[in-house]
Amino acid sequence: MKKDLGVKPYLFPMPVLMIATYNDDDTVDVMNMAWGGICASNMVALNIGEAHKTADNIKKRNAFTLSIADIPHLKESDFFGIASGHKRADKFECTGMHAVKSSRVDAPIVEEYPVTLECKAVELQQTVYGFRVLGEIVNVLAEENVLNQDGNVEPSKLNAFVFDQFQNGYYAIGEKVGQAWDSGMGYMK
């Protein structure tokens, strides 16, 4: 029997999105957030609280990068969700992580994360439901050690983790348990 839990943001898994932007003084800001994802073949949608430094930076530069957080950098990634860019000018630097400037968008690429989407902000939406950024993916960068023999990202090599809205936990992912558009084909008969 199911129990009524009321209105809660309960979906699982939730991505751990690492959004990197530049501050006014060209220092790096990184934010950890879960409320966003792919919304079209070349688009991402991010629901960001408008009070965040990242929201300010995206409005000013119309660009950001979006990276997949990995387990070796879980502590740094969690810190990027704890510390406010408005209150900690050294937020990125104190982690010891490194960034380089994207050649495609006006945003930093965090070198330690295995996969990064370089994005151009194409629409900023302010609605009664909050602030949303629609970003066009202009390129994807991946470390060679997470690619398979065909040059595609191999999820089991990412060491990625996801966010749990139920208990505020992080969970490792990576085991393949089926093949999309094939595992359910037996029902097509």
The residue ranges of every structural domain in the chain are 14-188
Query: Residue 185: pLDDT above 90?
Result: yes
Position 175 scores a pLDDT of 86
- Residue pair 87/72 in contact (Cβ under 8 Å)? The answer is no
Comparing C-alpha atoms, which of 36, 96, 26, 22 is closest to residue 65? 22
Comparing C-alpha atoms, which of 66, 84, 55 is closest to residue 16? 66
Query: Residue 176: pLDDT above 90?
Result: no
What is the pTM assigned to this prediction?
A: 0.94
Position 18 scores a pLDDT of 98
Q: What is the CATH number of domain 14-188?
A: 2.30.110.10
